[in-house]
Amino acid sequence: MRVAVDTGGTFTDFVAESQGQLFTHKTSSVPEDPARAILQGLNCLAERLGSPPREVLHGTTVGTNAFLTRRGARVALLTTRGFEGVIFIGRQARPELYNFSVKKPPSVVAKSLVLGVQERVLADGTVEVPLTEEEIARVRLWVKKHKPQAVAISFLHAYAFPEHERRLAERLADLSLHLSLSSEICPEFREFERTSTTLLNAYLAPVVGEYVRRLGKALPKVRIFIMQSSGGLLPAEEIEKRAVMTLLSGPAGGVWGALAVARSQGFSRILTLDMGGTSTDVSLCDGAPTYTHEYKIEGHPVALPLLDIHTIGAGGGSLAWFDPGGALRVGPQSAGADPGPACYGRGGRNPTVTDAHLFVGRLLPHRFLGGHMPLLPELATRALIELGRSRTLSPEALALSILEIAATNMEAALRKVSLERGHDPRDFVLVAFGGAGGLQAAELAERLGISRVIVPRLSGVLSALGILLAEPRFDFTLGLRPGRDPVSYPFLREKLSNLRDRALAEVKALGFSEKDLVVTEKVNLRYQGQAFEITVPLSPRLVEDFHREHQRLYGFCLTGRALEATALRITISVKRPEPIWPPFEGGKSLQIREKTALLLSPKVREQAPVYLWEELPPEAEFLGPALVVGDYATVFVPPHFACAVDFHGNLHLYPS
């Protein structure tokens, strides 16, 4: 049995594969100890299926939460003397151009824990200031005195000349602390981004490493893989070295799951909408997932290949509140798993998006989570009345306003990954998932002019399914010297040969067979004088490919301008068997199980049919307004929309 686990802010999702069949499970998350919910769910699945898992694939939020709550390791930064301020100065770009009171995000390292090291290598490799034994001894004493848990080392031009970083790391190796070298984590030029990425890795590594080791001890006979932000799996024993790659661990699984479902239906251009309990993640796939090397988390750059996912604080648990100016806001604060929305009955008093959905009739209290977690509508109503009283708003008007604002926030996020990047959302299919994704997907499609919405059968656990379908992936980078290294295929091919040999050796040492490995080689190119790069395949046609891609992205190319190469990249993925989609038997005929009173306007409630997802016949079609209720997700089909069921049990929503 293989089990994929996605830890969310409210629920922990499981999808198990055993003998070609898929099984799902869901349990409440335990934010203070995520492993507890995982072990509880694995035990339930083992009892249900009669055997323990042999492989666990895990999307984790441990690294993300450690950063957001500033509970990472006590970290020190060693950098070239004279460059101690780089990490605090950053870039001159201002996040809010007209705000004179902008506060920079707090750094993860204190200024007292940054040490300038007497060494300097110039851009051409000339050693201007050698790293002496006396200086190494001074650094060792300083590290011993300040007692950090982790050390980040980022020297000037180490992306091309890493010898000083490696020498210092060797001499600090016996001090029992984590070491992150910029020449290993992010060997690319740009001092600020390279230092920031290396520092974040050092900050998160002890926390992520300790979590993975504890999980490994609890599952001694199970091989564990961790989902990376790149959408690939990494063996758990390797994740501490690349802890920064877990920042988008769970959402990356959702993108892969959505793309796999869409491809099975003949679609490859999709927008993904993953609405969970705490946040909503959106992304765009134009035949394949979109990657970025310019990801920022609270202003801190991560210059590594990550799936281009935009996250907003708009989930089922997002709290509704009035700001000092009297405007109604929804999120980013969340009720989380504990106490959760008011209707959970765990002490939450402020209304959330889930409470609004329950009040307007889009959630059925007795069928939530397959009936295993009944909701309390009277508590949702009370919370809405209490919040609306101060603004003389009826609970009906307030609930619909909450849903309208949540939809507006999600619409803006979808525009950011489509229109703002040159894509027309009308050319894409919206794949909505997560526990709450199907409740507002049709409304978002109508706003953006999207003609089709797909809500996967396993919508409520799709991120876990994506993790189950993901392949192990290993990324390697070789930094180049822009303007100094020539842009010629023979030169770049030779430069890459040593990295390719080392990369293959490392991957095979982890137990993977060479016949299962797929190697992809790429190069970052730009026009001389440009401040950004485009990644193209490393081939004899690399120059032509670059011009063509530049033309596609920006509408012009400069064929007479000299090119610069900034980095070479190798990605090694491990082939996995094609997914076997379980058949969907469904029911014999379309049956209305019950009705729900849907609030369509502040003064109008309309009785609408409720269908059970597992009883829908394949190829069935019906008109909205209606609800489709599954064990882990509910889908709202609004008026003027139709819904059709395909042979895999996925729902297709489109204007009627």
Q: What is the mean pLDDT of residues 224-233?
A: 93
- Over the stretch 110-124, which tens digit does the pLDDT of each residue have? 999 999 999 999 999
Vertex 488: Cα angle to 487 and 491 (nearest 5)? 105
Q: Look at the domain 473-574 and name its fold.
A: Dna Ligase; domain 1 (3.30.1490)
Q: What is the mean pLDDT of residues 159-166?
A: 95
Confidence class for position 93, pLDDT limits 50, 70, 90: confident
Q: Which pLDDT does position 295 carry in this prediction?
A: 87
Residues of the chain with CATH 3.30.1490: 473-574
| 197 vs 189: CA distance, rounded Å | 12
Q: What is the mean pLDDT of residues 126-132?
A: 96
Percent of the chain with pLDDT over 70: 100
| 540 vs 546: CA distance, rounded Å | 12
Q: Which pLDDT does position 331 carry in this prediction?
A: 85
Burial of 18 (0-12, 13-18, 19+ CB in 10 A): middle
| 306 vs 537: CA distance, rounded Å | 18
H helix intervals, 418-452: 437-448
CA dist list (Å): 150 to 81, 116, 145: 20, 17, 14
Q: Which pLDDT does position 582 carry in this prediction?
A: 75
- Over the stretch 238-268, which tens digit does the pLDDT of each residue have? 999 999 999 888 788 999 999 999 999 999 9
Q: Which pLDDT does position 432 carry in this prediction?
A: 95
**Average pLDDT of every residue of the chain:** 92
- Please give the backbone phi and psi of residue 399, each rounded to the nearest 5 degrees, phi first: -60, -45
Residues 608, 639 contacting (CB under 8 angstroms): no
Number of continuous H segments (helices) and E segments (strands) in the chain: 16, 34
Q: Which pLDDT does position 144 carry in this prediction?
A: 96
Q: Which pLDDT does position 573 carry in this prediction?
A: 94
- Please give the backbone phi and psi of residue 271, each rounded to the nearest 5 degrees, phi first: -110, 135
- Please give the backbone phi and psi of residue 244, each rounded to the nearest 5 degrees, phi first: -65, -20
Q: Which pLDDT does position 285 carry in this prediction?
A: 95
Q: Which pLDDT does position 475 carry in this prediction?
A: 93
Q: What is the mean pLDDT of residues 599-610?
A: 92
Q: Which pLDDT does position 187 carry in this prediction?
A: 94
Q: What is the mean pLDDT of residues 635-641?
A: 95
Q: Which pLDDT does position 156 carry in this prediction?
A: 95
- What is the CB-side half-sphere exposure of residue 4 using CA atoms within 13 A? 26
Those residues with Cβ within 8 angstroms of residue 313's Cβ, 6 or more apart along the chain or in another chain = 278, 279, 331, 332, 333, 334
Q: What is the mean pLDDT of residues 168-187?
A: 95
Confidence class for position 101, pLDDT limits 50, 70, 90: confident
Vertex 572: Cα angle to 491 and 565 (nearest 5)? 30
| 361 vs 247: CA distance, rounded Å | 36
| 217 vs 649: CA distance, rounded Å | 38
CA dist list (Å): 261 to 18, 20, 58, 306, 552: 19, 17, 20, 21, 28
Which is more confident, 32 or 322? 322
Residue-by-residue DSSP string for 572-625: EEE--PPP-PPP----SS----EEEEEEEETTEEEEEEEEEGGGPPTT-EEESS
Task: Indicate whether this model's pTM tops 0.75.
Answer: yes
